[in-house]
Amino acid sequence: MTCWRELILEVMADAGDEWGNVVSCTLDDAGLDRQFSAGYGSPEGEPFTVWTFTNVYFPREYDGAESVGVVSRFPDGKPTNHQ
């Protein structure tokens, strides 16, 4: 079991970002901390978007396995990997 906050924080760390940089989030604390199974099957996590000063975070799903994607908030010349 996991929650969006945990998954987002992992991706933020990899991106050199942190929760203190969040400008806006479509989920409240209850939605961010709601536990769900991110494994294969049916998606269980709520849809969301999180904006920081430099990045945008969003849910990804493949065969029901859920994860977090990230793209730059502004044009930076870096290509985006397949999501």
Task: Compute how many other C-beta atoms are within 10 angstroms of the C-beta atom of residue 27.
Answer: 19
Closest CA to 4 of 72, 63, 59: 59
Amino acid 83: pLDDT:
86
Asked if 71 and 55 touch (Cβ cutoff 8 Å), the reply is yes
Local structure of 37: helix, strand or coil: coil
Q: Which residues, other chains included, contact 80 with Cβ-Cβ below 8 Å and sequence gap of 6+?
A: 71
Reported pTM = 0.94
Domain spans of the chain?
A: 4-72
pLDDT grade, residue 42 (50/70/90)?
Answer: confident
